Structure 1
Amino acid sequence: MKKNLFCLALILLSLFSFAQKIPFEIKKSALFKDEYKNSTIVLAEDDGKGGVVIVRSYYGGTFSTGFGYYFEHYNSDLKLIKEFEYEIKYSKVVRQSSVLGIIMDGEKVHIIDFIYEKDQKAYICSSISASINDFNFKKTELFRVDSEEIRQFAFLGFGVFDSDSGARMIVNEDRTAFAVTVDIKDRNVETHKMFVFDQSLKKNIDYTFKRDIKDRKFVYENIDVSRDGKTIYILGKVYTEEQRKKKEGGKYQYELTSISEGSVKTQVFDSEEHFAASLKTIVLDDRLVCIGFYSDRKDRRFKGICYSELNPITLEIKKVKYNTFTEQFLVDKYGKDKDKELKNLSFRKIITTSNGDIIFNAEEFYLTVSTFTGPYGGGSSQTIYHYDDIVTARINKNGEIVWARNINKRQKTSGDESYISYTSTALANDAYFFINTGEKVRKLSNDRIQFGQTNTRRSNLNVIKINENGDFDYQEILDDEDNEVPFMVSNDVISGNSTFFMGRKGTKKLLLKISL
């Protein structure tokens, strides 16, 4: 009997070990309404006095047209000090347009705009700039490209670079510089114009990147700007004739090119007998890292994490590692050690810790289509977006896995994706994840937990902490019953050790600040 009671106590202790106290502070703004229902936080900047400047993009719906930005200055208690609405309007000669992004330089805010002006037969990139003290916006041209050079205008979605068309803005990690890249029309030679500016709009690089290969055989994996804003790194996945003849592994090679004033270097490397479906670059102070998932069988069934480290100046390859997933990870994922490989993983965010380790995050993301047939024939289809398990791993400076964990999650939607998925951040050497769930956290076998479905009618906000040893706890931050609005957990903005979320239900909105 005593033995049974002891075992029961151990089981209860292991279950409750997940719910340790995680220190955090929350602040909310007052509930407010906008003229426009749809708005998203795009920027949060500390004002140097404990407050924050929030920039939100807005756009009209079916019955209300309009596009622009709300600028809001809050004090340390999230009380609104000043607000300003700036609507983006174009003349009749503008045929195509898009705002590529926003960057701040002290009290100055720059909206980076890209348009096609028919009368000038040119695509023009400009900055619409103002001080947050008076919001007197003025337009300054940054560069232009003749319309005969550029591909048919098509802008890219956030976080995805398309090798075939469009323009994109890339901001470096410290938000001190940005690049604008434009695809140039040439089927036989992959060509992009690359422009790099610092936050005060000084142009550091104006370069036309060319690779002597057909456009469709060069896939952009990643484009990064160095911390000093004077170098741009281009990572491409290239399908060459030589690689096509390989007997094992992926039939492609990776090419990393660094471009700075007066210097262009390229390093070629491949995944040997492995398949590395996709890689991401990370620009650190003294390291340049390419990291991604790899498999030994086919591109989308992953076995572990590959790591390549290069010298950021010379691009010399310093080390290459292939790390298989840990036993702990397999237990998290499957309940016990099984010989399985993951699939459908999408990069979400890469974080560096205070000691230089890399926290590499991904999510099981895939689409399914449901078809409905009516009683009298005909029918319709619906696309379902699935956001399942979170995969996270910590890689040290030697390129080795310190820990790898799987956070079980089952979420899907056919509508607004803002309330599902997750946000990740780090403080010191700990990783944090913010997740919504519409139900209590479910306990699984082998000390595992699972976060379930959420929606705009019921959504509880949770935080997960993974410490430097890979141990994790979770805690509910806000219960659905205590909030008038659910929070868009996948649309966040981070400033310092604070993460900002917008809550929305209908026209009602609220700003939430979580400080770790």
Structure 2
Amino acid sequence: MKKLFTCIAIALLSNVSLQAQDIPFKIQQSDVFKDEYKRSTIMSVEEDGNGGLIIVRSFMGGAFSSAFGYYFEHYDSNMKLIKEFEYDSKRSGVMGIIVNGDKVSIIDFTYVKEQKAFVCNANSASINDFNFTKKELFTLPSEEVSGFSFWGVGGGYDGDTGAQMIVNEDKTAFSIIVDISNKNQETHKLYLFDAKLNQKFIHEFKRDIKDKKFRYENIDVSKDGNTLYLLGKVYTTEKKKKKDGGKYQYELSRITKDGIATQVFDTEEHYSGSLKTIVFEDRVSCVGFYSDRKDSRYKGLSYFEMDPKTLAIKKSKFNPFTEQFMIDKYGKDKDKELRNLSFRGISVTASGDIVFNAEEFYVITTTMMQPGGGMSTRTTYYYNDIVSAKLNKSGDLIWARNINKRQATSGDDSYISYTSTIKGDDTFFFINTGEKVKKISNDRIQFGQTSAKRSNLNIIRIKPNGDFDYQEILDDKDSEVPFMVSDGAVTNNSVYFIGRKGKKKQLLKVTL
């Protein structure tokens, strides 16, 4: 049965004291349905211009099935399925999906044995008929990309991604970056296309340093779709001699059809194991965690700002975690560093502030002796506290919060972790918990373990001043399936989740 609920939430916590608040949201659920294949993930959600949605889900078969492909589904404004199509892609490596109006294109790599080459194709169709046609985008000889697996997107030659597709914020352009085999020189080929699949330029990025000494961090496509920004972390002989701080430098490159310009910067006496770029019209910002000792012990957030055209460095700041953050984490203000933080995403608020999110993630493998002899190994994945921080346009820290969470799994991790988004100047997190929210010391709360058998969906809001509240959105008793909260897809002011119990599935839309 299709369900439509309008829920006004009563918050239970703000800052560290109980206060009444409102979190307005609306949820819609599709009919419960069954797929042929058990596992699927939402890859893309696009509005159709008439109040409806185009949802693309990837699927894969079980342990004894090589099935892999995509479900294309067209829903009306009431989450009623209008049309669906199944696309089999088990013979190619899919890079990503780009939607332009009523046209959807699957970008993939296929190995052509006769040519001894990898061919990048766009398989395009209208959502009205799903009649796919193929267009070749480019070809690469196989010896240039020996880091590729048959699927085309496997591990790269030097640990970089073999190939990656990046779409810009407005979804008007996309880039494909390919790691090229070259032990003596860091080499990537960059291809830029518009949403209509027209090629804008090709650029071969080379750095005169051994491949293993250059770590590709990330690449961004500008809002206008004409410029690429590539950030790399480089281990040079000069930086190796530094007395204090990380033994590396960061390099930001601006690439257009006319050429390339590069800016070099480092984190001075600090350590910053990784940075992420955010491209604005008037600036390019690089944000990450930093420490005063070792790359994995975090003390706060670093911020660098460059001119988007000249790449001149305008600002460099290091913001230590706030007293409130340390109280969130430890129950009192402690001079202590954090470990095991894994980057989860960046958002930009309506006023241009940056929200940087991470999660306390680590893996423990245990080997045990069996009663009858022999050994067994168990790997457990821990997804603990959520870390969120907001920086203003100047790179100053507005607030930093730690949301206590204890979740772990040795199997499917889709039901734990979280999905985050923003609306206006509010930051939202969607998480599952299988039990009531727990009160811990010093007026703090903790979200607990969840599973496919018991998953209650919750929403957490961090307000512009850093106070936060939360509310249960959907109790597992009120839903036929638990929702895979780590695989949420965000579009405009709505977040979409798919729920699954066996082959039984359901789509959920939460509108803020």
Structure-1-length-normalised TM-score = 0.94
- The offset of 1:76, in angstroms, is 1.2
Equivalent position of 2:422 in the other structure: 426
Secondary structure of the residue aligned to 1:149 is: helix
- Paired residue for 2:140, among 127, 141, 145? 145
Query: 1:466 is matched by which residue type in structure 2?
Result: I
Gaps of 5+ in 2: 1-11
For 1:341 and 1:14, locate their aligned partners in 2 and report how far apart those are by CA, in whole Å. Answer: 22
- Paired residue for 2:121, among 122, 126, 131? 126
Equivalent position of 1:4 in the other structure: none
- Paired residue for 1:103, among 95, 98, 113? 98
Secondary structure of the residue aligned to 2:24 is: coil
Query: 2:264 is matched by which residue type in structure 1?
Result: V
Contact 1:14–1:447 (CA<8 Å) still a contact in 2?
A: no
Equivalent position of 1:84 in the other structure: 85
- The offset of 1:63, in angstroms, is 4.2
Equivalent position of 2:3 in the other structure: none
Equivalent position of 1:379 in the other structure: 375
Which stretch of the first structure deviates more once superposed, 431-440 or 142-151? 142-151
Contact 2:273–2:295 (CA<8 Å) still a contact in 1?
A: yes
> What's the C-alpha RMSD, in Å, of the aligned pairs?
1.8
Secondary structure of the residue aligned to 1:36 is: coil
Equivalent position of 1:492 in the other structure: 488
Equivalent position of 1:34 in the other structure: 35
Query: 1:237 is matched by which residue type in structure 2?
Result: K
- Paired residue for 2:263, among 244, 247, 267? 267
Secondary structure of the residue aligned to 2:415 is: coil
Query: 1:376 is matched by which residue type in structure 2?
Result: G
Secondary structure of the residue aligned to 1:23 is: strand
- The offset of 1:14, in angstroms, is 8.4
- Paired residue for 1:302, among 280, 298, 304? 298
Contact 1:21–1:475 (CA<8 Å) still a contact in 2?
A: no
For 1:111 and 1:405, locate their aligned partners in 2 and report how far apart those are by CA, in whole Å. Answer: 39
Secondary structure of the residue aligned to 1:22 is: strand
For 1:257 and 1:312, locate their aligned partners in 2 and report how far apart those are by CA, in whole Å. Answer: 10
Secondary structure of the residue aligned to 2:485 is: strand
Query: 1:109 is matched by which residue type in structure 2?
Result: V
Closer, same or farther in 2 for the Cα pair 1:268/1:176, shift >3 Å?
same
For 1:68 and 1:268, locate their aligned partners in 2 and report how far apart those are by CA, in whole Å. Answer: 42
Closer, same or farther in 2 for the Cα pair 1:403/1:156, shift >3 Å?
farther
For 2:394 and 2:122, locate their aligned partners in 1 and report how far apart those are by CA, in whole Å. Answer: 42
Query: 1:439 is matched by which residue type in structure 2?
Result: E
Closer, same or farther in 2 for the Cα pair 1:445/1:164, shift >3 Å?
closer
Q: How does 1:203-222 map to 2 (within 5 A)?
A: 203-222=199-218
Equivalent position of 1:94 in the other structure: none
Equivalent position of 1:408 in the other structure: 404
Equivalent position of 2:239 in the other structure: 243
Equivalent position of 1:114 in the other structure: 109
Secondary structure of the residue aligned to 1:463 is: strand
Contact 1:171–1:178 (CA<8 Å) still a contact in 2?
A: yes
Equivalent position of 2:459 in the other structure: 463
Secondary structure of the residue aligned to 2:473 is: strand
- The offset of 1:156, in angstroms, is 5.1
Contact 1:151–1:165 (CA<8 Å) still a contact in 2?
A: no
- The offset of 1:327, in angstroms, is 0.5
Q: How does 1:132-281 map to 2 (within 5 A)?
A: 132-154=127-149, 163-164=159-160, 166-281=162-277
Which stretch of the first structure deviates more once superposed, 494-503 or 59-68? 59-68
- The offset of 1:19, in angstroms, is 6.2
- The offset of 1:86, in angstroms, is 1.7
For 1:84 and 1:216, locate their aligned partners in 2 and report how far apart those are by CA, in whole Å. Answer: 43
Secondary structure of the residue aligned to 2:389 is: strand
- The offset of 1:271, in angstroms, is 0.5
- The offset of 1:12, in angstroms, is 10
Per-residue Cα deviation, 1:472-502 (whole angstroms, up to 9, x for no partner): 0100000011111100000011111000000
For 1:411 and 1:476, locate their aligned partners in 2 and report how far apart those are by CA, in whole Å. Answer: 17
For 2:335 and 2:301, locate their aligned partners in 1 and report how far apart those are by CA, in whole Å. Answer: 16
Secondary structure of the residue aligned to 1:200 is: coil
Equivalent position of 2:73 in the other structure: 72
Secondary structure of the residue aligned to 1:17 is: coil
Per-residue Cα deviation, 1:16-53 (whole angstroms, up to 9, x for no partner): 73663310000000000011111111000011111111
Query: 1:132 is matched by which residue type in structure 2?
Result: I
Closer, same or farther in 2 for the Cα pair 1:263/1:65, shift >3 Å?
closer
Per-residue Cα deviation, 1:303-327 (whole angstroms, up to 9, x for no partner): 0000000011110100000000000
Secondary structure of the residue aligned to 1:148 is: helix
Per-residue Cα deviation, 1:349-396 (whole angstroms, up to 9, x for no partner): 100000000000000111001212111221111111110101000000
Contact 2:15–2:466 (CA<8 Å) still a contact in 1?
A: no
For 2:510 and 2:14, locate their aligned partners in 1 and report how far apart those are by CA, in whole Å. Answer: 29
For 1:240 and 1:12, locate their aligned partners in 2 and report how far apart those are by CA, in whole Å. Answer: 49
Contact 2:45–2:55 (CA<8 Å) still a contact in 1?
A: yes
- The offset of 1:89, in angstroms, is 5.6
For 2:352 and 2:15, locate their aligned partners in 1 and report how far apart those are by CA, in whole Å. Answer: 31
Which stretch of the first structure deviates more once superposed, 133-142 or 172-181? 172-181
Q: How does 1:365-376 map to 2 (within 5 A)?
A: 365-376=361-372
Structure-2-length-normalised TM-score = 0.95
Count of aligned residue pairs for this structure pair: 499
Closer, same or farther in 2 for the Cα pair 1:323/1:14, shift >3 Å?
closer
- Paired residue for 2:343, among 336, 347, 350? 347
For 1:103 and 1:283, locate their aligned partners in 2 and report how far apart those are by CA, in whole Å. Answer: 20
For 2:62 and 2:396, locate their aligned partners in 1 and report how far apart those are by CA, in whole Å. Answer: 49
Contact 2:106–2:122 (CA<8 Å) still a contact in 1?
A: yes
Contact 1:164–1:215 (CA<8 Å) still a contact in 2?
A: no
For 2:157 and 2:252, locate their aligned partners in 1 and report how far apart those are by CA, in whole Å. Answer: 15
Per-residue Cα deviation, 1:83-129 (whole angstroms, up to 9, x for no partner): 11122264xxxxxx310111100000000011211111111100000
